[in-house]
Amino acid sequence: MKNIAVINGSLRKDSLNRTLAEAIAGLAAESMRFQFVEIGDLPLYNEDLWAQPPESVLRLKREVEAADAVLFVTPEYNRSFSPAIKNAIDWGTRPWGQNSWESKPSAVIGTSPGAGGAMAGQNALKSLLTVVDTVQMGQPEVYFQFKPELFAADGSVADEKTREFLMRWVRRFDGFIERVSPPKTSAQA
Ligand code: FNR
């Protein structure tokens, strides 16, 4: 079972992106455990805070470092990705030399009620994930126009084509993590 740290850039309760991530978590349940990382309580990045690091920052680093992979789920804000994600990424790269993202398998997904389906926001995030040294899955991309009828009230995927599309992504992400991860020692397995 792979542990996936999920970072959702939307902090609001009724996040469409959270709906998407939870639906994928359901589809992936046989091989991946999705653990949502809290980023809403991180302070805005301030170098001075390292003198006495906030628990929320230490928790973020711990949870990312313990995960087998990181899934970023981002809303699109003004053709870019969520500032909450940028803040979390910045915290994770420090202290210098202790970059929590280094060599982590990663992927980006997202949705929007707009016709572009959060593609522009995802593209901006993807270039940053290379800079911070994650190992990123390029395909398949998951961006689409969110329509409420695609998802059922229980959080499952109601639309068959969408379910197949997301299931294909799940299988690819599962295989990708195996391909790019170093073999586990017997103590870690
Ligand atoms: C948006 N939204 C938006 N949508 C889009 O497709 N392209 C965009 O550039 C923007 N820009 C934007 C800016 C700001 C400040 C907000 C608050 C919203 C709409 C956005 O996609 C919509 O609110 C989603 O529902 C946000 O995702 P969650 O919170 O539902 O996951």
Of the candidates 119, 118, 56, 45, which has an alpha carbon nearest to the alpha carbon of residue 83? 45
Atom of ligand 1 nearest to the CA of 110: 31
Pocket test for ligand 1, best of 78, 112, 142, 146 (most atoms within 8 A of CB): 112
Confirm whether 185 is domain-assigned.
no
Torsional sign, CA 24, 3, 56, 80: negative
Backbone dihedral angles phi then psi of residue 130, each to the nearest 5 degrees: -75, -40
Q: Give pTM, 2 decimals.
A: 0.96
Q: Using alpha carbons, list the distances in angstroms from residue 112 to 94, 116, 146.
A: 31, 7, 5
Is the Cβ atom of 82 under 6 angstroms away from ligand 1?
no
Give percent above pLDDT 70 in the chain: 99
Reported confidence tier of residue 184, pLDDT bands at 50, 70, 90: confident
DSSP letter (8 states) at residue 38:
P
Average pLDDT value over all residues in the chain: 96
Torsional sign, CA 103, 136, 110, 78: positive
End-to-end CA distance of the chain: 10
Tell me what ipTM this predicted complex has.
Answer: 0.99
> pLDDT of 37-59, one tens digit each?
999 999 999 999 999 999 999 99
Instruction: Look at the chain and report how many structural domains it folds into.
Output: 1
> The CATH number of the domain where 45 resides is what?
3.40.50.360
Greater pLDDT, 96 or 187: 96
Specify whether the CB–CB gap between 89 and 25 falls below 8 A.
no
Confirm whether 188 is domain-assigned.
no
The structure tokens listed for 9 are 């850039």
Is the Cβ atom of 78 under 6 angstroms away from ligand 1?
yes
Confirm whether 15 is domain-assigned.
yes
Tell me which residue range forms the domain holding 44. Answer: 2-180
Confirm whether 49 is domain-assigned.
yes
Confirm whether 22 is domain-assigned.
yes
Confirm whether 189 is domain-assigned.
no
* Type and span of the H or E element at 142: strand 142-145
Ligand 1 center to residue 63 CA distance, Å?
Answer: 27
Q: Is the pLDDT at 3 greater than 90, yes or no?
A: yes
Specify whether the CB–CB gap between 100 and 35 falls below 8 A.
no
Under 8 Å CB-to-CB from 182, ≥6 apart: which residues?
Answer: none
Is the Cβ atom of 114 under 6 angstroms away from ligand 1?
yes
Confirm whether 20 is domain-assigned.
yes
Confirm whether 44 is domain-assigned.
yes
